[in-house]
Structure 1
Amino acid sequence: MITLRHAHERGHANFGWLDSKHSFSFGSYYDAAHMGISALRVINDDKVSPGAGFTPHGHKNMEIISYVLEGAIAHKDSEGNVAVLPAGEFQLMSAGTGISHSEFNASKTDDLKFLQIWIQPNVIGTKPEYQQKHFGQALGLTTIASADGKEGSLRLKQDATLSQLILAAQSQLTIEVSPSRHTYVHQVQGELSINHHKLNAGDGAHISEVQSITLNNVSDQQVTALIFDLP
């Protein structure tokens, strides 16, 4: 079964300096039908004005992934981590017993665009951790985060895997999925067809009770998506 969540159906919050689209209930946006998929709790598609950002705030017992689409994030946290995340970079912050951090647009002239993703951990009360890595632009599937850190991926405190999909123009890929687990696809760039269901940028697809999916790029442009394998 494939259930689509179109970009225009997402929640929306605009604070002037921040324009955010919510795939699932978040902040003042609440929809009982869209509270997350399994352990995947948040996908926020954020645009931050030049020089603006999130002042220090706390998190606890949450796996927080940031994926920079355009621009760069200036990050500081209470564990002493100070970093800049450029476009294409992935950051995983395991909040554990508690961590405070700030995120600002590192540019004074250009917008910052990034995805903020929250995954509920399967262990709580752990020491906060910080990981950051650029995984390149290889075609096909690249493992970004996983429970065991396989293939050099970020180590996630949950029985889940996040993969980056990049398909060249006029190409397709068939992957096996477990019918007893949940698969969620978030379309980042371009148009993708999943078993003949079309996704555009910002769209999502919840996939369950199937054994395989065919990902097809019928356009003349490269497409990018994130694929979550969830318990």
Structure 2
Amino acid sequence: MALVVSGMNKRRWIFGTAAAATMVASGLFALSSFITATPARSAETTRPVIVVLGDSISAEYGLPQDTGWVALLRKRLAEQRIDYSVANASISGDTTSGGRARMPELMERLKPSIVIVELGANDALRGVPLSTTKDNLRTIVEQAQQGHAKVVLVGMYVPSNYGQAYTQRFHAMYGKLAHDMSVRLVPFLLAGIENKPDMFQSDQMHPTQQAQPVLLDNVWPVLSPLLRK
């Protein structure tokens, strides 16, 4: 589930519990398939790994398989002959608490060189205190850094009907964490499509297939300096 910047139709924020349960269930199924299909790295493996830890935006919710921005990242790396593998550990409906709980196993099994963290929007949707979200994100970054991985933190906005003060504090949280923990920041994953209804699916929350290259282009300038060419 994704929350988009203010200025968009408020009907995007109507999201029933039944739909949320479906998203989480489908996300858990996708993650179980990912875990089954992704073996642990052997001592001889030298190909560095990028792990994407995200929610439905990164989990290809509502999209044909292998058309989301993470899949496009994998293709761009191959096209540019940058030898990284990309493990998509995103779950639709996931929160920072879920990401924090999953990080130790992901770090142990995949030993990533880079972790892209795209979480937080669902915390706001569920009314999680901002202090809790910030603490979880900080711990996720620390877990990655303790495993010698570089981190890209992906920022999000929440809509204006959450209140201007909260909206500003929520978005500022990402910048402060990135500064305090010396990690790279994507200011806003949905920059460039936030006020384009045709770039969102019928739920007016999740980006369409046509929007995915824009999302990748928002991440790429921040990620690419970290890559070993």
TM normalised by structure 2 equals 0.33
Which structure is higher in RCO with an 8 Å CA cutoff and minimum separation 6?
2
The structure where helix makes up a greater share of residues is 2
